[in-house]
Amino acid sequence: MTTNPTRTINPTRRAFVTGSAAAAAGLVLGFTVPLGRGGGAALAGAGHTDEITAWVVVRPDETVIIRIARSEMGQGTLTGLAQLVAEELACDWSKVATEYVPPSRNLTRGGAWKSFQTTGSRGIRGSHDYVREGGAAAREMLIAAAARAWGVPAGECRADKGVITHGPSGKTTTFGKVCAAAAGLPVPDKVALKNPKDWTIAGKPLKRLDTADKLTGKQVYGIDVRLPGMLNAAIRQYPLFGARLRSFDAAKALAMPGVRKVVKVGDDAVAVVADTWWQAKTALEAVDVVWDEGPHGRIDGADIAAMVDEGLDAKDAFVGNKAGDAAGAIAASVKQVQATYSYPFQHHATMEPMNATALWTPERCEVWCPTQSAEDALAAAAFAAGLTPDRCEIHRMHLGGGFGRRGAGPIHDYVHQAVRIAREMPGTPVKLLWTREEDMTHGAYHPVTQCRLTAGIDDQGGITGLRVRISGQSILAGIMPGRLAGGMDPVVFQCLAPKGDHAIAYSFPNLLVDHAMRNPHLRPGFWRGVNANQNAIYLECFMDELAHAAGQDPLAFRLKYMKDHPKSRAVLQAVADKAGWGRPAAKGVHRGLAQCKAFASYVAACAEVSVSDGGVVKIHRIVAATDSGHAVNPQQIEAQVEGSFVYGLSAMLMGECTVKDGRVEQRNFDTYEVMRIKDMPRVETMVMPSGGFWGGVGEPTIAVAAPAVLNAIFAATGKRVRDFPLKHSGLRLA
C-alpha cells in the first residue's frame, strides 16, 4: 500500500499510510492539492519528525513505513526493496507499509534517496546496499534509544520483529515506544549488513505488498486520478515523426457538449479540454488539422530495411568487442558459415496508455503520473511549466505497465504535454489521456536492426573465429545523444560485450563485434530487455546453426566455449538437465536451448515445441533458470520469468510495427497482436542464486525466450527463421 503524503487532506499519518480512506469513499480521491504549502522544503520538515533514517519511519503504533525511491510497475521492486530494508531493520513484516519519496524532496534533501531510475532491471541491484544500510542504521538508532533509556550498553541489546531485548536483564521494549527518541539520535556513519545466509525476510517468497487493491478496483493509477474541479484532455499529435502543426479549425469542436477549450500543444499537437475525457475525445475528432508532414512522409518500411541492410556491408563501424583476428581466422578455415537475421520495431504497449494530470499556477506546478523515472518527470514538468524544479512536484502513481516507455527523460512527452495544456488553464487541474491509437503511433520503439554473423569452422567442427556485424538503430543516438561515447552507442552490444553486465557468455579466440549505426526517423526507446533481446536471438540461434553445421549436440557445442563462464554454464546445464536434454521428448516434441548474461544475471531456457504439418506451432513447456546472485523474493522472480516469456515471445511470434508513408501502421491491439492465455506455455522456473553479486530480474529472461523457441522450431522443422515476427515464415500459433 503505497501512498503519497501530499495526496490527502490533513491526513492522519495512518490514513495516508493505508490509503484506505479515499478508496473506501467510492474511489474518489477527495483530496486537495497543498498548493503554497507543499513545497520541497516543507515536505522535508513538517510531518517527518518520526523519520528515523531517510528510508525508515516508525510510528508509535508500531507501524513501519519504508520509503521507496524506485517505481512499482508490476515488477515487484516495491516489495523487494521493502524486504531488504525490513531485513536489516529487524522489524515486524506485518507492520510494514511503504510510501514513495517525491522527487522534489530528494532535491531539497541533497539526494538522500539517490536515484529514482527504475530502468535496466536496476531497482534492487542498483540500490540494495544503501537501502539496507538505511534499515540497519535505523535499527541501531532504535536500539541505542532503548539502551539509553535503560542505561545499559547498546551492545547488550538486540532487535527482532520490532522488539528490542536487553540480553542480560531480559527487559524488552518495542520500536514504537522508542521511535521518538531514536529519531533524535545521529544516524551512524557505518553499519554492518547481515550476511544474506542469515536473512529471514529478504530472500523469502513473501507475498507482494501491493496486491489487495489490485483485486478490488481500489488501486489508483494515473488514469484514475481525480481532483476537485478537474477537466479532461484528449490529444492528437503529429501523424508521423518530424511532422508539425500548420493550422487547425476548432470551431465545430468548441460547440460540442462539455468542451472548454481547444489548445495548441507545442508545435506538433492539438488538445481538446472538456468536462469528461469522452467528450474531449469526441470533440477532438471534429477538429480539422492541417499538418506539415516534414521530411519523412515518403518513407516506407522497405526504405528503412534497405538503409539497415546497407550497413551490413559498410566499411565503417563502431567496434564493440574484438579479440584476435576474426577475419583472418575465418578466411583460413576449412568451412565458413554465414547467416543474416533481422528484427523489427516493437511497441511497448503498456496496458495503461500514456497519461498525466497537471495543475499549474504561475507559482507552482504539480503532476500526477506514472513514471519510471520520477526525477526525469520532475524535470519535464519544470521545463514545461517554466518553473524551477523546487516549485514543481511529481506525485507518482503505480504504473499500469512501464517496460521502458515511461523511463528515459526525453520520452516523458506525456508529462510535458499535460503541463503545457494545464498552463492554458491556470489553477484548474487537467488530466491528459492518450487514446490507444495515439499511444501506439507515438511510441519509443524497440530499435530496428539486422545482424550478419560469419564463422569459420575447423575440421573438428570447432569455431575458429566469429564475426558479428550489427546494423541499425541506436537508442542513445535517438533520445540521449549526450551518452554516446565518441559517437558509439555501447548499449548496442548487450550480450556481446567483452565484459560487464552484458558480457558475451562464450570465449572465442578470434572475435569481432561491430555496429554500423543506421538511424531511421522513428523515435527509438529502451524496450524491456533492450538490445539483449535481438542480440541473444542473433548469437544463440547462430550458435545453434554452427552446432548443426558441425554435426554436434547444441548443448555440448556451447559448453565447449563456456569454460570461462561457470555461472552461465550452470544455468544452461540446469535447464538442460531438468528438461531432459539428451533423452527423447514426447512424440513430435522438440527442444531448443538458449543462454545469455544480461543485466548482470545469468539466464538460460530450454523450450519444448511441436510444429504441425500445417505450420501450427505449439509451445508446450519452457524450463528456465536465473542466477541473479541474490534472490530477494524467489516467487516474484518466478513471476518475472513467467512474464518475460510472454513479453519476449509476443515480440518474436507476432510483434511488429511497420512503416508506411512515414507513419506507424499499427494503431491498436487488433493490428498489434500480443500473446493471450491460449498461447501461454507452461513455464517452470529455477531460481538459482549463487551469491556474491546482484543481478537484475525483470528483463534478462526475455533475451532467451525467443532463441530457445526458435532453436526448438528448427529441431522440429529443419527450418531456420531469421526474419521476425514468426508469422512471416508461414508459421503460426494455434
Partner 1 sequence: MAKINVNGRTVTVDADGATPLLWVLRENLDLTGTKYGCGIAACGACTVHVNGAAVRSCALPLEAVAETDRIVTIEGLSRDGSHPVQRAWMDLDVPQCGYCQAGMIMAAAALLARTPRPTDADIDAEISNICRCGTYQRVRAGIHRAAGGKA
CA angle (617, 496, 575) in 5-degree steps: 45
Contacts with partner 1 by CB under 8 A: the residue count is 65
Contact 575, 604 (CB under 8 A): yes
Site for partner 1 in 1-30 (CB under 8 A): 26-28
For the window 76-95, what string marks contact with partner 1 as x by the rule CB under 8 A?
Answer: x-------------------
Give min distance, CB of 224 to partner 1, in A: 4
| Shortest distance (Å) from residue 643 CB to partner 1 | 3
Q: Does 443 bind partner 1 (CB under 8 A)?
A: no
Between helix 77-89 and helix 128-150 the angle, nearest 10°, is 30
Among 92, 413, 424, 642, binds partner 1 (CB under 8 A): 642
> For residues 522 and 663, what is the distance between their CA atoms, to the nearest angstrom?
9
Q: Which three cell numbers stand for residue 617?
A: 506451432
Give the whole-angstrom CA distance, residue 147 versus residue 152.
5
Residue list 253-292, contact with partner 1 (CB under 8 A):
257, 276-279, 282
Q: Give yes or no for residue 644 binding partner 1 (CB under 8 A).
A: yes
C-beta closer to partner 1: residue 464 or 666: 666
**What is the helix (H) or strand (E) element at residue 316, kind and residue range?**
none
Among the listed residues 68, 522, 683, 686, the single contact to partner 1 using CB under 8 A: 683
Does position 725 bind partner 1 by CB under 8 A? no
Where do the H-state alpha helices sit in 298-361?
301-311, 326-331
Interface pick for partner 1 out of 12, 49, 200, 211 (rule CB under 8 A): 211
260, 250 Cβ separation under 8 angstroms: no
Does position 634 interact with partner 1 (CB under 8 A)? The reply is: no
Which is closer to partner 1, CB of 103 or CB of 648?
A: 648
For residue 634, the surrounding DSSP H or E stretch is helix 634-653
- The single residue among 247, 338, 612, 668 that binds partner 1, judged by CB under 8 A, is 668
Nearest to 607 by CA among 718, 716, 473, 498: 716
Q: Which of 676, 719, 728, 732 binds partner 1 (CB under 8 A)?
A: 676
Residue 381, CB-side half-sphere exposure with 13 Å CA sphere? 32
Amino acid at 598: A
Backbone φ and ψ of 706, nearest 5°: -65, -50
Helix (H), strand (E) at residue 711: helix 700-717
Q: Is 416 helix (H, G, I), strand (E, B) or coil?
A: helix
Q: Which of 188, 266, 462, 643 binds partner 1 (CB under 8 A)?
A: 643
DSSP 508: -
Residue with cell 547467416: 339
| Residue 398 makes contact with partner 1 by CB under 8 A | yes
Please report whether residue 435 would count as binding partner 1 according to CB under 8 A.
yes
Q: How far is the CB of 676 from partner 1 (least distance, A)?
A: 5
Q: Judged by CB under 8 A, which of 5, 38, 176, 400 binds partner 1?
A: 400
Nearest to partner 1 of 59, 398 (CB atom)? 398
SS3 for 134-158, per residue? HHHHHHHHHHHHHHHHHCCCHHHEE
Of 433, 604, 632, 703, which one interacts with partner 1 (CB under 8 A)?
Answer: 433
Could you tell me the smallest distance in angstroms from the CB atom of residue 144 to partner 1?
Answer: 37
Amino acid letter, 99:
E
Q: Please, which residues bridge with residue 660 across strands?
A: 663
* CB nearer to partner 1: pick between 256 and 323: 256
Mapping DSSP onto H, E and C, the string for 100-144 reads ECCHHHHHHCCCCCCCCCCCCCCCCCCCHHHHHHHHHHHHHHHHH
CB nearer to partner 1: give 550 or 683: 683
When binding is defined by CB under 8 A, the residue of 114, 483, 682, 719 that contacts partner 1 is: 682
Identified binder of partner 1 from the candidate list 210, 376, 413, 501, rule CB under 8 A: 210
- Work out which of 44, 112, 137, 223 binds partner 1, going by CB under 8 A: 223
Positions in 57-76 near partner 1 (CB under 8 A): 73-76
Task: Tell me which residues touch partner 1 (CB under 8 A).
Answer: 26-28, 73-76, 207-208, 210-221, 223-224, 226, 232, 257, 276-279, 282, 349-353, 398-403, 433, 435-436, 635-636, 639, 642-647, 668-670, 674-678, 680, 682-683
